[in-house]
């Protein structure tokens, strides 16, 4: 199962040619966005590299090395080991359930020697990898048969259920939403999504009763933040104040009153975009949005240039994951979506989320480097 790989053809590139084929423009954009994050973390610590910016710089450097190694590895290797990567991450998620570390009221981390890992973050890319491998071998008719859809649905449902138990509604939402994008790109007909959405709407009362108290409070606070301005609504109210107070060009770097006086909670993680717009204004926020749009455009172009279905689906899945990170975080801090704890990509403090994104970009760059590799899709289901 894990070792089988379809027939493949394409040029065997030397290391020098692979380095030349790297998308250096995308690497520059990633480094530029990360540098904005370093500056914001420096500001959040009132002009100090500790405790956030220094660690984030080191993590980013390690992630860059991982990213380049992944990019230079033949894409057929990722096809071969996709299911195994997914299986290992699933075991780690079960390990979190059994012996995970509790922090901030949730069991999301597992300690592996000197490393504290959040497997649910890595599963976002592992699931994309496995689904791309699965759908690679199916044609449009096979994709829409019920027997062919059951395995990938199970592949999504199991990790999503484990993540919900941690509990982590934001990550579970991203797993399901990112997978839905891949199902659509693989050729699943639109009416099936409408049917699933209708069933989901019918299940809302049941889902509401299954939510934890704090998750219900988040939804109610999203609908009416002023109902508890000093409790559940405090975060989003302070976020909106900071967003509006920045004006067009902001109060200046390290001059934000809401962030520097600690009115803004979690300013180094979930609400770092709010701090950025308070200090750099609407212009700074729009500049970051433009950089994100350029990254998404580059990723989309890389995916579409791939000659093989696996590369296209992998590239588009990574692109969708990156988009969901940015969209959910920004919508969350503006009050458009409930606060679900999704970090701002490449900017928010956090090791697992940062490394996850860099792993995703490394796989995407592998798609770019090996874009001319043709891999036979073959008949029937994958091995």
- Largest Cα–Cα distance in the chain? 63
The pLDDT, as a whole number, for residue 3 is: 42
Sites in the chain below the pLDDT cut of 50 = 1-8, 379-383
**3 state SS of 144:** coil
The pLDDT, as a whole number, for residue 30 is: 97
The pLDDT, as a whole number, for residue 192 is: 82
Tens of pLDDT, residue by residue over 284-316, are 999 999 999 999 999 999 999 999 999 999 999
Whole-prediction pTM value? 0.88
Looking at the structure of the chain, the number of domains it has is 1
Tens of pLDDT, residue by residue over 8-41, are 455 566 777 778 778 999 999 999 999 999 999 9
The pLDDT, as a whole number, for residue 363 is: 96
Q: Is residue 272 part of a domain?
A: no
Q: Is residue 204 part of a domain?
A: yes
Asked if 313 and 132 touch (Cβ cutoff 8 Å), the reply is: yes
Q: Is residue 231 part of a domain?
A: no
Q: Is residue 293 part of a domain?
A: yes
**3 state SS of 229:** coil
Give the number of other CB atoms < 10 A from CB of residue 210: 11
Cβ burial, residue 224 (10 Å; 0-12/13-18/19+): exposed
Residue 19 phi/psi, 5-degree rounding, is -65, -35
Q: Is residue 274 part of a domain?
A: no
Average pLDDT, the chain: 86
Q: Is residue 81 part of a domain?
A: yes
Q: Range of 158's domain? A: 8-225+282-341+353-375
The pLDDT, as a whole number, for residue 1 is: 39
Q: Is residue 318 part of a domain?
A: yes
The pLDDT, as a whole number, for residue 380 is: 38
Q: Which long-range contacts (CB under 8 A, 24 or more apart) does 330-335 make?
A: 330/273, 332/270, 333/236, 333/239, 333/243, 333/270, 333/271, 333/273, 333/274, 334/239, 334/240, 334/243, 335/222, 335/225, 335/236, 335/239, 335/240
The pLDDT, as a whole number, for residue 79 is: 94
Q: Is residue 247 part of a domain?
A: no
The pLDDT, as a whole number, for residue 111 is: 83
């Amino acid at each position: 199962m894990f070792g089988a790989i379809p027939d493949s053809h394409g040029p065997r590139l030397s290391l020098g040619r692979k380095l030349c084929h790297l998308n250096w423009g995308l690497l520059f954009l990633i480094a530029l966005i990360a540098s904005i994050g370093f500056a914001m973390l420096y500001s959040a610590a009132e002009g100090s590299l500790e405790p956030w910016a220094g660690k984030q710089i080191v993590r980013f450097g390690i992630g860059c090395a991982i990213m380049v190694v992944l990019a230079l590895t033949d894409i057929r290797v990722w096809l071969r080991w996709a299911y195994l990567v997914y299986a290992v991450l699933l075991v780690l998620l079960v390990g979190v359930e059994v012996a995970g570390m509790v922090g901030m009221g949730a069991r999301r981390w597992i300690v592996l020697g000197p490393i504290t890992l959040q497997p649910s973050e890595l599963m976002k890319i592992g699931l994309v990898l496995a689904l791309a491998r699965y759908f690679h071998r199916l044609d449009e008719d096979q994709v829409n048969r019920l027997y062919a859809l059951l395995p990938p649905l199970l592949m999504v449902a199991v990790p999503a259920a484990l993540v919900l138990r941690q509990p982590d509604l934001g990550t579970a939402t991203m797993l399901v939403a990112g997978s839905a994008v891949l199902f659509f790109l693989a050729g699943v007909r639109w009416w099936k999504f409408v049917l699933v959405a209708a069933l989901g709407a019918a299940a809302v009362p049941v889902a509401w009763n299954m939510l934890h108290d704090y998750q219900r409070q988040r939804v109610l606070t999203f609908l009416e933040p002023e109902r508890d301005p000093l409790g559940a609504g405090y975060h989003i109210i302070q976020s909106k104040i900071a967003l509006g107070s920045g004006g067009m060009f902001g109060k200046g770097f390290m001059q934000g009153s809401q962030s520097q006086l600690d009115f803004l909670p979690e300013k180094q993680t979930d609400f770092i975009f709010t701090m950025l717009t308070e200090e750099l204004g609407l212009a700074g926020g729009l500049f970051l949005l433009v950089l994100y749009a350029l990254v998404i455009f580059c990723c989309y172009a890389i995916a579409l240039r791939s000659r093989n279905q696996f590369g296209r689906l992998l590239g588009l899945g990574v692109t969708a994951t990156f988009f969901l990170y940015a969209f959910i975080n920004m919508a969350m801090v503006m009050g458009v979506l409930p606060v679900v704890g999704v970090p701002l990509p490449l900017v928010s403090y956090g090791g697992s989320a940062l490394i996850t994104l860099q792993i995703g970009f490394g796989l995407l760059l592998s798609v770019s480097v090996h874009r001319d590799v043709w891999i036979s899709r073959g008949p029937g289901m994958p091995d």
